[in-house]
Amino acid sequence: MQKLKTLLEDKLSGILLGLLVLQPALDVLSYFADRYGLNSITTLLRFGLLALVVLLGFLLTKRKRVYLILGGVVALFWAAHMLNCFRIGCTSPVEDTANLLRLMNFPLYALTFITALKGRPHLRKSFYLGVLICFLEIILFTALPWAIGRPVYTYGSLELGVLGWFLIPSAQSAVIVLTAPLAIFAAYRSGKYPVYLLGVLLTVVLMFITGSKLDYFSIFIIGGAYIFLFLIQLGKRSPRYVLPLLALLILSAAFKGYSPMAIRNARTESSQDVYSGMISNTLETSGADQTTLNIIHSEKSRPSSERQLEKVRRAVLPIYSDTGIYGYRTEELNARFGMYNVMEIFGYTDSPEVLSNTRKIKLNFAKLVWQEKDTLTHLLGFEYSDFLLGDTIYDLENDFPGIFYNMGYLGFAIYLLFFALFFFRVFRALAGSVRRALETEKTEGPKALRWLRGFWSGLRQFLTLETGAVGICFLLAIAAAQISGNVLRRPNVTIYFAAAAACLYSLTTLQRRPEKKEV
């Protein structure tokens, strides 16, 4: 066993690099496997890879009880979850277990990567190089289908956005956003200015042409964050790094109207205007009085009596039932839960923006299912098959609500504790840096001014370019999980999030203070 551990330690840099570099190729394999109905093969490959990664961490660590405790907690929770599902009538335990394994990707990958970095801070370079190579692979696999005359669009029905051989547009959008900050950092760290310029240009262009809101607005988040980091860390040398970034941000804003994101938004608004006119005509012919119309148009007002409620229902009923308006979006929900319940969960809204929003429809579907469940199911979550209705999958696109409904109050709290660990470590490291700066602050003057100077000095010491780069990636991953989704439940996205989290943990904890115990 010791010989195997020594061998793994010797080859660890190459293992981590290979693990990351493999990801875009697996994504392309998933794309073509889906076209030929072979999804099960790539799914098994992903689960097999996860098992190997966990085994790697278990063999490397001296604190094997950490892995055993995590496994025990997950096993106990899942046993309770499954027993409850069988109590109320479980229909697909295998699918439910597969969903759990997808959720466990982030904790397991992150724990293994933290173990790998313990006492080996130089291995962070393998992560950064791996992400940079991944980004170049993404560009290659994005460009190839367009080069051979078979373009793949982010929004296929609209023929908008440049995607490539990647199966799920929202997941690939998140991958680009998570790899971009580290790709820029790796290009900067190369020490070659042309490489930095090329890295910045490629990341901005790719995010611009992909066409999702997440990618487009991340241009300004990532660019703005790097401008701040360069200014506070490089001082007089910052303009040569800041000005190219600033120029690209200005160009991105100036040409926003030509971006796939803006064109898609304009088409969506045009479609909603048509439906808005149809809704207005429906309400005008409904005979509803002004008070009823005010309640319908307001997001906060609710009927004050049963009589008023009945008037609102009669007025909006055609909107939710007529397939020529939005009945085609709600007909499955109407049949499953009853039209009155559907109208109530939507707040009796007549807003095309809400009624045409697939994410909102899925979220309301989950809320209606949740209302049917008892207290124990609220505690432990309902099974994945509850998201299925006929041939339609109502699984939530946003990660955190999806985790909440699948795992309940208890499972969601346990899951969030893992994130709380990272935030605790980061803020404690920041507080330590500020405290040390305050202890060395000798400037005379008002106490408040000395504190501000000490805080600024501590912040600068803490927020290096490297810490800032992985911090941007970490925070964007959390934001993307909530706003866009497919971050925590897609292994091909989760692995980048886990890599950033492990590097952040290493930088803010393992490298900031001596540790007596290994993780």
Q: What share of the chain is helix, strand, coil (3-state, %, to 5)?
A: 80, 0, 20
pLDDT at 366: 95
Indicate if the pLDDT at residue 517 is higher than 70.
Answer: no
pLDDT at 514: 45
pLDDT at 187: 94
Rounded to whole angstroms, the Cα distance separating 471 from 448 reads 28
Backbone angles phi, psi at 388, to 5 degrees: -100, 135
| pTM for the structure as a whole | 0.90
Average pLDDT of the residues of the chain: 90
pLDDT at 248: 97
Please state the separation of Cα 400 from the chain's center in Å.
Answer: 9
Please state the separation of Cα 66 from the chain's center in Å.
Answer: 26
Which among 505, 494, 502, 503 is positioned nearest to 23, based on CA atoms?
A: 494
Question: 443 exposed, middle or buried (CB, 10 Å; 0-12, 13-18, 19+)?
Answer: exposed
Indicate if the pLDDT at residue 28 is higher than 80.
Answer: yes
Q: What tens digit of pLDDT does each residue of 269-320 get?
A: 999 999 999 999 988 888 888 888 888 888 777 888 898 999 999 999 999 9
What share of the chain in percent tops pLDDT 70?
97
Q: What tens digit of pLDDT does each residue of 456-472 get?
A: 888 888 889 999 999 99
Instruction: Give mean pLDDT, residues 403-421.
Output: 93
For the beta carbon of residue 280, count every other beta carbon within 10 angstroms: 11
Residues 167, 34: contact at Cβ < 8 Å? yes
Q: What band does 40 get if pLDDT is binned at 50, 70 and 90?
A: confident
